[in-house]
Structure 1
Amino acid sequence: MFDKKLLRNLDTITIIIVVILVSVGIVAISSATHVHETGDYWAVKRQIMWFVAGLIAMVVVMSIDYNTLGNLSVYMYFFSLLLLVAVLIPGVGVVRNGARSWFDIKVSLIQPAEFIKIIMIITFSKHIEKIKESNESDINSIKNLCTLVAHMALPIFLILKQPDWGTAAVFIGIMIVILFIAGISYKYIVAAFATSAAVLPLLFFFVMKEYQRERLLVFWDPNRDPLGRGYHVIQSKIAIGSGQLYGKGLFHGTQTHLGYLPEQHTDFIFSVIGEELGFIWSSIIIILFVILLLRFLYLATLAKEDFGSYIIIGITAMIFFHILINIGMTMGLAPVTGIPLPFISYGGSSLLTNMMAIGLVLNVAMRRQKINF
């Protein structure tokens, strides 16, 4: 399947770090979902199943030259929009936690927006490459910049209709980071932040629904609704703080096992780690994430062309914003959203997407210009 020259460029450091993170996640999930009376490890079994599926998907993605994927970018883009429209149709899309973001495929719920992040990274990167290769090579021209913004604005709009503000924020972050690396003028960045500062109050008062506004208000003051919307953050902070340096030990977290910590195997898995494994293991996990992201940035510098580099940068941004938002919300530093912690939170769509993202990074790295014999 792979040429020997390509396998010599396989980045084993990335693979090792990902396997460690997934393993820690499986251990944390086993504690968060274990039923002592029956010994039922249902979530662990499913997560392992999704990890195996993710490994297969990673190998498949690695085997297809990323330039071939780039040549299919137009078809991939419109297929993504079709999925995002379909999930909004009652009876087709499934509502969960107030958002119509899921397809029910019987064996599991699938969130299409997760996979579409990968597709948009490929298509957006290819769009920038085409602009730079054309006669109008300046991405800072108004025409080119408008087409690039529109490229991401369409899927973001459809995701906001679900509504899923957390995922939409990740898409925006991916777009900004890739544009920054591609050489967008600072004046546009400043203008974008200034516009956002002016528009955000309007969004808050006239666009957001009541529960979304309340979620932001509770972010600033969880004690505003300690038994309602602030409950998640309060219990999460108690769990993390009570773990102290070494933790209470696996299967011994009181917040986790007495049912105080909500969504403990998905959105708040880092709270379980903080309570049961303590500050040391929590820090190790963050350090592993930092090493992984720095490794991505290094591999991006080795890509043989800008297209490959943009792909890796986009995936780096995607994983970074997931880490930032998820860990931030468990500590009360970010609003509570349905953003999972990459490789660690329970969830088929998330794990499968992240494994495909790793496959894409390895794909670009394996096909870099320099071959080490």
Structure 2
Amino acid sequence: MKILHIDTGKEWRGGQRQVFILHKNLLKNNIDSFLVCNENGILYSKAKDELQNVISLPGNIFQGIFNLKKILRKINPDILHFHDGKSLNFIEFMPASMKKIETRRVSYPISFFSRKVKYSLCDYHVAVSEEIAEYLRQFFKNVFVINSCIEIDRFVLKKPKNPFKKRFNKNILFVGSFSKQKGIEVLLEAFKSVVEQIGDVGLHLVGGGSLEKDLWKMVDDLGIVDNVLFYGFQKEVEQFYFFADLVVVPSVDGEGSSGVIKEALASGKTVIASNLDANKEIIKDNYNGILFENKNKSDLSNKIKLVLNHKIVLDKNKILETAKQFSCEKMTYKYIKIYDEILNKDGRL
């Protein structure tokens, strides 16, 4: 069985981490796995140093097509696995004889053109949540759900070092890209009320993106400069979770299967998340996490205050048990099962 994975992302986001983990685990299971990724991306720079069978791909689409065809002739994979929307730009140039699978990680609608020209050429579709799967089933057959995973061992720290620039009595953590879908503006507005009532509380923002300058201005306008700290993009975030009292995931749309929620669970931390359908697939309200009404800053600030004032206290064992449901071993096994099914149907196994 030869699997060739394609991911064109430049940043190191949740999707790139999942591709890295899947490729690594397939190799551990003695499967001929190959990873093709953007030569200018963080995924490539990390994977080429740590894993085998990692191949670079030019960012230019035309050069990329030419190089990818050369790679296919050399490797002759049984299955092409596309891991992001842009990687599907190559699909119409790939041999029809090769089986194709794509993983959909976001809940945004797919344009009519993309459905017809790109996604329809896939033999199988994997959604990281039931919400995404229901959408895909409107248009395609062979749709499966495989949740993204969490490497639980990453969050068992023996000698943690506090990464916070300033120590507060209470510390709230946000991890993610600074984009509209992540709802950071809602969090900042809610946090202003928390500062006014609790005082010695800090909000630590780990990430970066197009909204960073706007967020700096918003923090200044809200008068909470002394309580909000920016850390930029961080490859490793485990110590931030360790020293946080609370993790907030205020995403307003587009979530697939939130990696940040799972990271918080693996750290044994209470997480407050917006009540998007995808988040509700992971969090059972007031059992292993807390949900607030999407985009509602008042509801979010009230939930934060209840947690920080110990009016809501969740069972840490239930939080950790939930994280185990999303182990990377389980995710890898499910992908191998689908690969086997594809090749069995095609008579290759």
TM range, smaller chain: under 0.3
Higher percent of residues as strand: 2
Higher relative contact order (CA 8 A, sep 6+): 1
